Structure 1
Amino acid sequence: MKSELIVMLTYNDETVEDAVDVFNNIKDLPIKYFGFKDIGLPHKRMDTLNNIMKKAGKETFLEVVRYTEQEVLESADLAVNIGFDYLMGTLYYDSIWDLIDKKIKYLPFCGKVYDHPSILDGTMDEIIADAKDMEVKGVDGFDLFAYRYKYLDKVPELIKKLLSV
């Protein structure tokens, strides 16, 4: 598996105010993936930033930390309307597929995620089972909050187990 870097223009779980300037200063680096959160900028500025990134040849990610189905649907609608390549984060809901209609790639959280800042909870077996279930449902990947796992001493083991399935 080849690792790729996603540069997220965020700080304290929000898109930075000067995200356009930050992106313009680093857009020529050999990085393919850029993204930001669904909070921190008005939707019009998100649209502008996404367009600037795409014109620079980048693939774009909207990261969402929302938990209710209605909140997730609102953010998925935003991701589709602005034209992101990926929607990452959120809890998984089957209804997201109807909304995004495979126009963008979907990378939901795996495991039991709650609170703000987010906490990843559950046993390793539960997290792996959740990831397998989402894979069967057709997700393009998943967002693992390993650094926010409730059992930090188990993070290396969790990652190894997840990568081995």
Structure 2
Amino acid sequence: MDFIFMLTRDDMTVRDCLELLDSLGDLHLAHLGFKDVGVDPATLTRLHRRIKDTGAASYLEVVSTSRDRALNSARMAVDLGVDWLMGGTWIPETLELLDGTGIGYLPFPGTPTGHPTRLGGTPQQVAEHCRRFEQAGCAGVDLLAYRATDAAPLDLVRAARRATSGRLVVAGSISSPGQIHDLAAAGADAFTIGSGATTGAFEPRSGTLNGQLTAILDVTRTAATRQSAEASP
């Protein structure tokens, strides 16, 4: 299971994202992402270039709630050359924009609304969306499980896991070791944390961002090891 560090707070890319990235030092995070809102396109261009210079896989998550803005964000993903585009619900249009780019698309299953985004939908609806998205050619899904309003978060994760063979990323409101272990047991391939690290919520006894991220990485390794052991025959 992979940890994707989002350079975000409250569902927006932080204004000092470039300085934040520079502060990571020798952590060598393998997965780094940002949102399509919070800073101007020129800053996102510089941020993405620096992310790729670190050797990390890059993720752009769409939180814009209108069709036109979401598709403009997909165009931005193409211009930037990110590795993964996450979020959004306009599947055929987005896949058409991404065609031939090599960018993996992970849309939102369920019914996302508002900003910060909440997720409506039952496990059955999420599973139906996952199957439909995979048939359409999506690489997996971006599931806002801990933002759910109509179901228990882990019920949504398990339903999505049964319904898709693609990459299952769980995003939003993850801020404790227990949640990471639960996600691994439910079959998630990756999870994102932004605010949980940038606000210091994950490891309250640590006063630095690097302390937060080190704690998250340690828990992720333990959870991933257990996940692999349980998956072995």
TM-score in terms of structure 1 length? 0.91
Alpha-carbon contact 2:122-2:150 (below 8 Å) kept? no
Query: Aligned residue for 1:134?
Result: 133
- Report matched runs for 1:77-96 at 5 Å: 77-96=75-94
Q: Percent identity?
A: 33
Deviation at 1:67, TM superposition (A): 3.1
User: What secondary structure is seen at the aligned counterpart in 2 of 1:5?
Assistant: strand
Alpha-carbon contact 1:27-1:56 (below 8 Å) kept? no
Q: Structure 2 regions of 5+ residues with no counterpart? A: 164-233
TM-score in terms of structure 2 length? 0.66
- Report matched runs for 1:2-151 at 5 Å: 3-26=1-24, 28-103=26-101, 104-151=103-150
The C-alpha deviation readout for 1:118-142, integer Å capped at 9, x for no partner, is 1211221011100110011111111
Question: Structure 1 157/27 Cα, relative in aligned 2: closer, same or farther at 3 Å?
Answer: same
Alpha-carbon contact 1:89-1:107 (below 8 Å) kept? yes
User: What secondary structure is seen at the aligned counterpart in 1 of 2:133?
Assistant: helix
Question: Structure 1 102/66 Cα, relative in aligned 2: closer, same or farther at 3 Å?
Answer: farther
Q: Structure 1 regions of 5+ residues with no counterpart? A: none
Query: Aligned residue for 2:171?
Result: none
The C-alpha deviation readout for 1:51-110, integer Å capped at 9, x for no partner, is 011011111111111233322211101111112111111113201122111411111101
Relative CO higher for 1 or 2, CA cutoff 8 Å, sep ≥ 6?
Answer: 2
User: What secondary structure is seen at the aligned counterpart in 1 of 2:140?
Assistant: coil
Residue identity opposite 1:7 in structure 2? F
CA distance in 2, matches of 1:135, 1:92: 14
Question: Structure 1 98/157 Cα, relative in aligned 2: closer, same or farther at 3 Å?
Answer: closer
Paired residues, what number?
162
The C-alpha deviation readout for 1:17-44, integer Å capped at 9, x for no partner, is 1111111221532421101111111111
Alpha-carbon contact 2:64-2:88 (below 8 Å) kept? yes
CA distance in 2, matches of 1:81, 1:38: 13
Which is worse superposed, 38-47 or 21-30?
21-30
Alpha-carbon contact 1:120-1:146 (below 8 Å) kept? yes
Question: Structure 1 95/27 Cα, relative in aligned 2: closer, same or farther at 3 Å?
Answer: farther
State the 4+ residue runs in structure 1 displaced beyond 4 angstroms: none
CA distance in 2, matches of 1:79, 1:163: 26
Deviation at 1:114, TM superposition (A): 1.4
User: What secondary structure is seen at the aligned counterpart in 1 of 2:2?
Assistant: coil
CA distance in 2, matches of 1:18, 1:72: 23
CA distance in 2, matches of 1:158, 1:42: 34
Q: CA RMSD in A?
A: 1.5
Deviation at 1:151, TM superposition (A): 3.1
CA distance in 2, matches of 1:93, 1:134: 7
